[in-house]
Amino acid sequence: MRSLLRFWPDIRRKLHVYLTIIALTFGANAISLLVPALMGRIVDGPIAEQDLSALWLPIAAVLGIGVVEAVALWGRRMIAAKVVSQWEITWRARIYDRLQYLSIGVHGSWESGQLLSRAINDMTQLRRFFAFGAPFIVSTPFVIVTGIIVLTVMEPAFGLIAVLMAIPMLAGVIVFNARYQRESRASQDTMGVISTQVEESVQGIRVIKAFGRAPWVTERFEAISAHLRAIEVRKAYLDSWMWAGTMTLPRLAMAAVIAVGSWGVLAGWTTVGTVVAGVTLVMVLRIPVEMLGFLLSDAIMSVTAAARYWEVMDTAFDITDADGGIDDAPPSRAFTGVLEFDDVAFGFPDTDLLTLRGVSLRIAPGETLALVGATGSGKTALASLVPRLYDVSSGAIRIDGTDIRELPLNELRRLVSVSFEEPILFSATVADNVCMGSPGAGEAEVWEALEIARAADFVRALPAGLDTEVGEQGLSLSGGQRQRLALARAVIGRPRLLVLDDPLSAVDVDTEERVQRALREVLHASTTLIIAHRPSTTALADRVAVLDDGRIVATGTHEELLRTSRTYRDLMGASAPEEVRR
Amino acid sequence: MTPAIRADEDTEAEELPPDIARRARRLLGSLARPYRGGIIAFAVVVALTILASVLDPVFVALALDEGLPRAADGDVTALGWAIGGFVGVTLLGGLGMWLANRLVGVLAQKIMFDLRTRLFVHTQRLDLGYHEKSTSGRLVSRQTSDMESVQQFLGYSLMDALSALGQMTCIAVILVALDWRLALVVFAGFIPLVFTTRAAQRTQRAAFRRTRTSIAKVIVHFVETMGGIRAVQAFRRQPHGRQRLESEDEQYRDANVRALRGVAWFAGSTRLIGNVTQAAVMAVGAWFVIEDWTQIGVLAAFVLYLRRFYGPLDELVQTFNLYQSASAALEKIAAVLDTEPTVEEPDHPVALPARRSADAAGRELAFSAVRFSYGEGPDILPTFDLRIPAGQTVALVGATGAGKSTLVKLVTRFYDPSAGTVAVDGVDLRDLADAALRRSIVMVTQESFLLSGTIADNIRIGRPEATDAEVEAAGRAVGLDADVARLPAGYATDVRSRGGRLSSGQRQLVSFARAFLADPDVIVLDEATAHLDIPSERLVQSALETVLAGRTAIIIAHRLSTVEIADRVLVMEAGRIIEDGEPAALIAGTGRFAALHRAWRDSLA
């Protein structure tokens, strides 16, 4: 319940509108309660007195009430449509935005499908609830209470019957509530697992097809989907009790009203008209009572959805500006670009094992340092620390002597340009994708960057050149082409600091050669950390550092290291390859 | 339809065929068919429940018109019977309600399970061409958001709709029986009702289709952002992502508001019609009673029934709403299910001949007059013949876009050739059962996708029935052992979302381990060593040589180190094989490969 109440600030902003919605809901329901009373009036008045002319007034009233009710209904839905649809997207925007700023480490701890189901399914649930469930759940008890009061005024005995009916109902609701909450949470979480599996099965389709593992992933999917089926069936079983109860109890009350009413007519303490009115009223009250079952399960699902939403929203930002926030566009300062690692240790957030230990390096402005190391030695982790995708576990990284944690996060990220090992392009044009590295760059700069990455030729050959849409929703490019675009994005605008993670792994030898020649010229302008697997790449560097099992074991120029470091010779394939090869 | 114009096709993919509504109905029919028995049982229970619930006003009329006057005369039996009957039908109705809810719950869930599975299986069956054209987010939205719409309808509204319709029919019959003249007044209200429903159906269908399409776009954007979150943060794309979500979501909101306002008009007008009818019945009824043409009990029953007659209209409106949304969703699902994969399993698969011997498991690959193009587009691979003898290791060399990847996609049957045949040991790939094909030919790609689960689970994709020892042996063979030992739970370590915990080199090793475990006849490596350091690459290569000795292998690699283990080199350019020979012979020559090789030699230390 608390999780739903936390939406209060949003509701308060639209409180006048939402109150109108509730008032209209309540009004429409309450006003229709008058119809049975008017009916009793007709029976005991014009009909009893055989006076046709006296009929017009109550009939006009019934008609008037009918019109008002219909207009109220229409009005409620018209108004609610806008408000709740806006809330749905506002809340989704918030959860999306929170996720955008949460660190990579936090993202790693969530399955991607769980996030999707929270942002989509849960938001739809909340929208439906605020449109329909919430105003009804607020107004229905009032309608029922009002009905009982009207009934009591009409005939106290009838009122007593209604109250007696409410007792088993409340007891049932309490039991139902607890169980339904459990199932509802299980169902929504399972939906998240389903999303994850679907996402994987589509994104990993090549692997699955290459190994013919469709039957295996299908089995996995069937298992989770059968699990969901079981939960949903349990929910349906709970519903069956609730709905059978809400249907039976008001009717039993009706039977009681007829029995007691008949006795009253016989005993002379009530009239036929009152009994008819009483029965009609209970009949009218039945609709909100029967709805209670639905409203309750809807409310419970919404509480769960809201709780899942707040779980994301309550996750603290762990990588932020010094003041705890994250400024999108902090003022920029000039840096000379000294990059320093001071006794850096790093372990991934969910383990005590350290991936990097005691790493100390200093890269001077304009210097290029190549980082080499075996698979899994921690190179990519080290590179991720510079733009603070992860934070160091101990020690510090400094730029021009300032701890990078002291810099506004987005100033650091503007200062440090990166290209990842696996190039990620966005669904946008080639120009947009390249410009991301230096927002505001002109077309000439884009072409210059594309030239350096030797991507200009193939971009020119694309159907719409620079304006060709690429990324997931656009043209699919080969691995080498994507990597070169990512490289262009990194080098555009001559960044002060450049972090390149194996930038040419997927590029063919011919092209690699040419890219390297061009890179060599621009690298002088930037302080560069480049991760390399190949001698050709390390040859670009002024200095090379060798990473082995999370520690720097040697630094020096390529030639020096070839002479002095056996690890380096191994890595570069320079030590008697015959040994390895057979 | 070359992949080059994919951006345009993308919007096209959202356009549904004109007969989609019929297809969606056919899909629903085929889903319901296996459960005919259950559905009939459900219909019977619902009918009985309705009957029980519509009978109660009869007992009310009986009690008031017959029971009460007689009780006044001292005979309470009629009153007793009426009230007893009322309680009886109420309890029966309650029981029916209980049973019907359980039945519909089970049936709806069985149908949902079938639909989910069917969509999942079909998505897996669809050819790679389809997957390359469609974004993953769109298929995810079919399986999540659209499914939810269908489930909402089946699980919650179907019964409401059925019982509302049934109730209205029963009540109509009873009303005629009670007083046909008054009943005519009620039925007069039907005429505007039919028109309103017709009009609403037309506009609402379009409106709900728009909501399905626009939410799919939101999902696509969401999936893309979360999938590329590293780049989003590193390139400070958050403001842009926010704007894009906002604009996609605004379209969704507008579509939603339109759909919901359509519902408002529909709900308001049906209610108005119901209420006006009610006033009319009261006026006419009272007049009839005064003129003594009908009894007061009949009028009371009429008013009671009228509430119930138009009461379910609310539910019908709600159901109508959900139905429109569900059918729009079902249409989208049907469109995926109706897409036939272009690469299909044969109806009568041919078995591969037995392996020649346990340690010489390679098979011969033969391309005969093969030509390939995407759809009607230009030839990517012009007609060619190629024979790779069993056990041969072939290196495929050439610039990006030369057609190397396309050629191996034909070997793995990700695509079928536009003309000619690709055969393994003389058997056309199209005649092989998928399971046999995948056991025999395995590919390792540059992008090593990890599925959620442990590292062992991921290696086991190569051969699901492999023991832990075999999985670890495969890991050892490719040099993954030392890295895995450092992980918190060794091979049982969870790779987390998208395998974030392993470096790309390590992931590639996992892919290799899969291939080793699979123990295929033919292995295809498409840039599979790009992310490996030189010692790892050599280790993998030597493992390839020993573990896969005698297997047929096709290797695409930019690093020509691979060529050193190849028996034969094919150089490709613009879709054609321009050089073909032993590596040593080609290196000694003056062709393209000799030049490439020299450049590569120079790049080494």
A349 and A273 inside one domain: no
Please judge whether A110 and B223 are an interchain contact, meaning their C-beta atoms are less than 8 angstroms apart.
no
Among A69, A207, A297, most B C-beta atoms within 10 A, so best to mutate, is A207
**Beta-carbon count within 10 A of B87 CB:** 19
* Nearest CB to A39; choose among B282, B308, B564: B282
How many residue contacts between A and B have a Cβ separation below 8 Å? 549
Percentage of residues in chain A having pLDDT higher than 90: 42
Please judge whether B261 and A241 are an interchain contact, meaning their C-beta atoms are less than 8 angstroms apart.
no
Is the per-residue pLDDT at A575 higher than 70?
no
CA–CA gap between residue B102 and residue A252 (Å, rounded):
23
**List of chain A residues whose C-beta atoms are within 8 Å of the C-beta of residue B262:** none
Measured between CB atoms, does A185 come within 8 Å of chain B? no
pLDDT of the residue at B358 = 62
Which residues 295-324 of chain A have a CB within 8 Å of chain B?
Answer: none
A406 and A287 inside one domain: no
Tell me whether strands A497-501 and A551-556 are parallel, antiparallel or unpaired. unpaired
Fold of the domain spanning B19-337? ABC transporter transmembrane region fold (1.20.1560)
Please judge whether A509 and B86 are an interchain contact, meaning their C-beta atoms are less than 8 angstroms apart.
no
pLDDT of the residue at A70 = 92
Give which of B32, B270, B315 is closest to B165, Cα–Cα: B315
Domain that holds residue A385: 339-580
The mean per-residue pLDDT over the stretch A74-89 comes to 94
How many domains in chain A?
Answer: 2
Is the per-residue pLDDT at B183 higher than 60?
yes
Q: What is the rounded radius of gyration, in angstroms, for the C-alpha atoms of chain A?
A: 35
ipTM (interface predicted TM): 0.89
Q: Which of A38-52, B13-27, B188-202, B352-366 has the highest mean pLDDT?
A: B188-202
Is the per-residue pLDDT at A576 higher than 70?
no
**Beta-carbon count within 10 A of A331 CB:** 7
CATH of B365-603, one of 3.40.50.970, 1.10.10.10, 1.20.1260.10, 3.40.50.300: 3.40.50.300
How confident is the prediction for chain B on average, in pLDDT? 85
A345 and A206 inside one domain: no
**For the segment B222-268, what is each residue's pLDDT rounded down to a tens digit?**
988 998 898 899 888 899 899 999 999 999 999 999 999 998 999 89
Phi, psi for A336 (deg, rounded to 5):
-85, -30
pLDDT of the residue at B241 = 92
CA–CA gap between residue A13 and residue A15 (Å, rounded):
6
A77 and A148 inside one domain: yes
On whether residue A343 sits in a domain, the answer given is yes
Among B62, B154, B457, B558, most A C-beta atoms within 10 A, so best to mutate, is B558
A299 and A365 inside one domain: no
Question: One-letter amino acid identity for B43?
Answer: A
**For the segment A360-374, what is each residue's pLDDT rounded down to a tens digit?**
999 999 999 999 998
pLDDT of the residue at B366 = 95
Please judge whether B224 and A427 are an interchain contact, meaning their C-beta atoms are less than 8 angstroms apart.
yes
The mean per-residue pLDDT over the stretch A547-551 comes to 91
**3-state DSSP assignment of residue B235:** coil
Paired with B572 in beta bridges are B577
**List of chain B residues whose C-beta atoms are within 8 Å of the C-beta of residue A131:** 260
A368 and A490 inside one domain: yes
pLDDT of the residue at B448 = 80
Among A95, A216, A284, A375, most B C-beta atoms within 10 A, so best to mutate, is A375
Is the per-residue pLDDT at A67 higher than 80?
yes
Question: One-letter amino acid identity for A29?
Answer: N
Please judge whether B242 and A474 are an interchain contact, meaning their C-beta atoms are less than 8 angstroms apart.
no
pLDDT of the residue at B359 = 61
CATH of the domain at A468: 3.40.50.300
State the greatest distance between any 2 C-alpha atoms of chain A, in Å, as a whole number.
Answer: 120
CATH of the domain at A158: 1.20.1560.10
pLDDT band at B8 (very low <50, low <70, confident <90, very high): very low
* Nearest CB to A50; choose among B101, B112, B290: B290
A367 and A290 inside one domain: no
CA–CA gap between residue A506 and residue B532 (Å, rounded):
11
Which residues 23-52 of chain A have a CB within 8 Å of chain B?
Answer: 35, 39, 42-43, 46-47, 50-52
Give which of B365, B426, B454, B396 is closest to B572, Cα–Cα: B396
**For the segment B588-601, what is each residue's pLDDT rounded down to a tens digit?**
888 888 888 887 77
A293 and A355 inside one domain: no
Query: Are the CB atoms for A121 and B148 separated by under 8 Å?
Result: yes
**For the segment A143-165, what is each residue's pLDDT rounded down to a tens digit?**
888 888 988 998 899 999 988 88
CA–CA gap between residue A190 and residue B227 (Å, rounded):
20
pLDDT band at A515 (very low <50, low <70, confident <90, very high): confident
pLDDT of the residue at B603 = 66
Please judge whether A375 and B223 are an interchain contact, meaning their C-beta atoms are less than 8 angstroms apart.
no
pLDDT of the residue at B137 = 82
**List of chain A residues whose C-beta atoms are within 8 Å of the C-beta of residue B308:** 283
Q: Which residue has the higher pLDDT, B452 or A546?
A: A546
Among A96, A104, A492, most B C-beta atoms within 10 A, so best to mutate, is A96
Q: Which of A252-256, A527-531, B322-326, B529-533 has the lowest mean pLDDT?
A: B529-533
CATH topology identical between B19-337 and B365-603: no
A298 and A349 inside one domain: no
Distance from CA of B356 to the nearest CA of A (A): 22
Measured between CB atoms, does A389 come within 8 Å of chain B? yes
A364 and A270 inside one domain: no
pLDDT of the residue at B423 = 95
On whether residue A323 sits in a domain, the answer given is no
pLDDT of the residue at A166 = 83
pLDDT band at B360 (very low <50, low <70, confident <90, very high): low
On whether residue A445 sits in a domain, the answer given is yes
Domain boundaries, chain B: 19-337, 365-603
How confident is the prediction for chain A on average, in pLDDT? 88
Q: What is the rounded radius of gyration, in angstroms, for the C-alpha atoms of chain B?
A: 35
**For the segment B431-444, what is each residue's pLDDT rounded down to a tens digit?**
999 889 988 999 88
Question: One-letter amino acid identity for A304?
Answer: T
Give which of B341, B340, B338, B255 is closest to B22, Cα–Cα: B338
Give which of B345, B516, B313, B535 is closest to B431, Cα–Cα: B345
Please judge whether A581 and B541 are an interchain contact, meaning their C-beta atoms are less than 8 angstroms apart.
yes
Phi, psi for A363 (deg, rounded to 5):
-115, 120
Distance from CA of B272 to the nearest CA of A (A): 5
Q: For B552, left (φ over 0), alpha (ψ -120 to 50), or beta?
A: beta
Q: Following DSSP, what letter does each residue of A41-109 receive, concatenated?
A: HHIIIIITTT-GGGGHHHHHHHHHHHHHHHHHHHHHHHHHHHHHHHHHHHHHHHHHHHHHHS-HHHHHT
**For the segment A190-224, what is each residue's pLDDT rounded down to a tens digit?**
988 998 899 889 888 888 888 888 888 999 999 99
Q: Which residue has the higher pLDDT, A579 or A455?
A: A455
CA–CA gap between residue A519 and residue A536 (Å, rounded):
12
Interacting residues of B145 by C-beta distance below 8 A, sequence separation 6+ = A120, A121, A124, B212, B215, B216, B219, B329
CA–CA gap between residue A36 and residue A48 (Å, rounded):
16
Measured between CB atoms, does A535 come within 8 Å of chain B? yes
